[in-house]
Structure 1
Amino acid sequence: MAVFKNGPNGSFSGKVGSVVGYKWKGLDVIRGLPRKSSKPRSEARLANEQAMKVIMEALKPLTVFIRTSFRNVADPLNMSAFNLALSLNKKQALKGEYPNLEIDWSKFRTSQGDLPGAEAVNARWTDSGLHVSWCDNTGAEKAYGTDRLSILVYSHALGIWQNFLNETTRDAQECILPAKENWIGTDIEVFLTFMSFGSELVSDSVHIHVRLP
């Protein structure tokens, strides 16, 4: 059942026939219900479904972070931050051919924005954990030494993310991320994102791959 908010000529909320009305980001939106098809799915459709699944599985554990890290770019497009991250990475961060699609981590992005990102990034395993260093580019347009750094780490061996949110600041130039024994020395992908105080500004993520010693 649908409810008309402003009479018969107004917007509605709920299901009417094959469409659903709802409010999203202050807008009244109508979408059609999915239709079942008896036709066999084409290889192109199967490839698209696999691409969506691969990117979705990588991004889903980062949902809370992505709500902030893509928000400033997504809002003017009337998109959710997660849908923008999904669309962007699906377009640029896949490699291989169906049914062997996989993520191209060098093109995978965990944030997007205009704030200057990390430069001259280096990462290596130590006995204490992961040592990460970068160049202090304070003074570049919009960049401050107090910008907060978040580091996201994906372990191939464990198939999970470890997130170090607001770990340090731009001017610190280095940090050591603690890791459990089963993390140290594993093959990992590392992503660095700077955010201004209050997260009004966000940088593009910067990626570095750390290989097995």
Structure 2
Amino acid sequence: MGTINQGILGGFSGKVGPIVGFRWKSNYYIRARAAKVSNPRTPKQQEQRGKFATAFSFLKAIKPFIRIGYKEFTEKKSAFNAAMSYMLKKAITGDGKDIRIDFNRVLVSTGSLMPVFEVQTTVTKRKIAFDWKDNSGMGNAEQDDTAMLLAYNKDKETAIYDTEAALRRDGHAGLVLPDNWEGDELTAYLSFCSADGNSVATASACRYP
């Protein structure tokens, strides 16, 4: 039951029907009561929460990379939310308790800058090397576009990355791998950001030889 203060025209605290009144910093406010969910643990709801948690966990591990990788989509939402929306629609698969990431569909960056089309990775105990064919001059690709590298460890669900690893014209860059990554399953991505920072390329998923 709500309590009316200062007469019928004053503020009130408590619940009155679908309205909740409360006081904060000497002022009174009202808001609608939150609707009750009759069954918040239906299989469909649990499945959706599982998909959200899977996408969130992946993106959280690469959040600084995502801020750059989705910067062209921040007019109406944050880069992280744009990436989350894409993941849930395109890259999270399965149902029930069998929810997983389809890494072939993952985009750690996407945008209007020209990507490279020939890239290969080589993994050793201490390093993952990226080699690509410089396609400067194709479309809006420029020699001084910055190469962005990312390697994700599927077993440990963590990542390493470098958003300023090299230039497009270099055709080569690498990441030093943690000692405890030896033998783990990795997935790697190469992207580019324009020198002025305004355009980003859709990441190329790198294949191992």
Pairwise same-fold verdict (TM > 0.5): yes
Of 114, 137, 144, 1:139 maps to 137
Q: CA deviation at 1:195?
A: 0.1
Q: In structure 2, what is the equivalent of residue 182 of structure 1?
A: 180
Q: CA deviation at 1:118?
A: 2.4
Runs of 4+ in 1 over 6 A off after TM superposition: none
RMSD after superposition: 2.4
Q: Share of identical aligned residues, percent?
A: 23
Report the TM-score when normalising by structure 2: 0.79
Question: Contact 1:146–1:170 at 8 Å: present in 2 too?
Answer: yes
SS in 1 for 2:86: helix
For 1:86, give the aligned amino acid.
Answer: M
Question: Contact 1:109–1:204 at 8 Å: present in 2 too?
Answer: yes
Count matched residues. 184
Q: In structure 1, what is the equivalent of residue 91 of structure 2?
A: 93
Question: Contact 1:128–1:176 at 8 Å: present in 2 too?
Answer: no
Q: In structure 2, what is the equivalent of residue 54 of structure 1?
A: 54
- In structure 2, distance between residues paired with 1:121 and 1:202: 17
1:73 and 2:73 are equivalent in the alignment: yes
Unaligned ranges ≥5, structure 2: 1-10, 12-27
Q: CA deviation at 1:210?
A: 4.5
- In structure 1, distance between residues paired with 2:88 and 2:148: 23
Residues 192 and 41 (structure 1), Cα distance of their counterparts in 2 relative to 1, 3 Å cut: same
- In structure 2, distance between residues paired with 1:83 and 1:110: 13
Q: CA deviation at 1:209?
A: 5.0
Q: CA deviation at 1:138?
A: 0.4
Task: Give the structure with higher Rg (CA).
Answer: 2
- In structure 2, distance between residues paired with 1:210 and 1:184: 15
129-138 or 173-182: bigger deviation:
173-182
1:192 and 2:205 are equivalent in the alignment: no
Q: In structure 1, what is the equivalent of residue 30 of structure 2?
A: 17
- In structure 1, distance between residues paired with 2:167 and 2:84: 28
Residues 40 and 129 (structure 1), Cα distance of their counterparts in 2 relative to 1, 3 Å cut: closer
